[in-house]
Chains A and B, each alone.
Chain A
């Protein structure tokens, strides 16, 4: 059974803290994605990566950075958390080169910044 796991289901952080969200997939997928989900806005792409050490900005990269040191792991970093980054964060993966393929999602991390 394919799996994408995220390090925390719920996280509460203070404004200004550095926050790390971890995502691991066991499907040997090249593509990995970070989205944030907000009511009425759907999913918005923050960053994606199609290979180790490669990253591309999505639609809303400001205030975020990412790291992909190993194929199976994709980390999202909030350098200095702010209250407007309170959201649900979803990680996803898919195989490279097959645009027809659906994405596999992790369970999500609900982050609250106070």
Chain B
């Protein structure tokens, strides 16, 4: 069965410092991996995705994520955090061998960036 784990409920970081939001996954086949962000009282917005190819993917707002197949991880990173990055972040996985309709979301990690 597919699953996604975001081991940290909350991540605190100072503005200007690098940030990492962790995600690990479990699928029976090859994964498609996604990161979404949710600002207060808003729907989810797509940040980036890994489909195939280069393990380092770049997305919106300066975010990037590294796909690590051996560790089954897809951690979200940003070299220099902004206060405006404070939001709820969701990792999601889709197992391409099971028809692809279903996306499994992690529980979410709340990021606080302090000025």
Query: Which A residues are closer than 8 A to B by beta carbons?
Result: 4, 9, 31, 35, 40-45, 48, 50, 56, 58, 90, 92, 99-100, 102-108
Query: Which B residues are closer than 8 A to A by beta carbons?
Result: 4, 9, 32, 34, 36, 41-46, 49, 51, 90, 94, 96, 100-103, 105-108
Q: Is the CB of B43 within 8 A of A90?
A: yes
Q: Looking at the complex, which one of A9, A40, A50, A90 makes contact with B44 (CB distance below 8 Å)?
A: A90
6 further A-B contacts with Cβ under 8 Å, apart from A58-B102, A99-B96, A103-B46, are: A40-B9, A42-B105, A43-B90, A44-B105, A105-B44, A108-B42
Q: List 8 A-B contacts (CB under 8 A).
A: A40-B107, A45-B102, A58-B102, A92-B44, A100-B49, A103-B44, A104-B46, A107-B41
Kindly list chain A residues whose C-beta atoms are within 8 Å of the C-beta of B42: 107-108
Q: Is the CB of B34 within 8 A of A102?
A: yes
With A and B bound together, what is the CA distance between A75 and B32 in angstroms? 28
**Nearest CB of chain A from residue B67's CB, rounded to whole Å:** 14
With A and B bound together, what is the CA distance between A105 and B43 in angstroms? 6
With A and B bound together, what is the CA distance between A107 and B43 in angstroms? 4
Q: Is the CB of A99 within 8 A of B49?
A: no
When C-beta atoms are compared, the residue in chain B nearest to A105 turns out to be B43
Q: Looking at the complex, which one of A42, A58, A92, A105 makes contact with B108 (CB distance below 8 Å)?
A: A42
When C-beta atoms are compared, the residue in chain B nearest to A99 turns out to be B100
Q: Looking at the complex, which one of A9, A50, A100, A105 makes contact with B101 (CB distance below 8 Å)?
A: A50
When C-beta atoms are compared, the residue in chain A nearest to B4 turns out to be A42
Q: Among B43, B94, B102, which residue has the most Cβ atoms of chain A within 10 A?
A: B43
Kindly list chain B residues whose C-beta atoms are within 8 Å of the C-beta of A31: 101
With A and B bound together, what is the CA distance between A58 and B42 in angstroms? 23
**Nearest CB of chain B from residue A53's CB, rounded to whole Å:** 17
Q: Is the CB of A102 within 8 A of B49?
A: yes
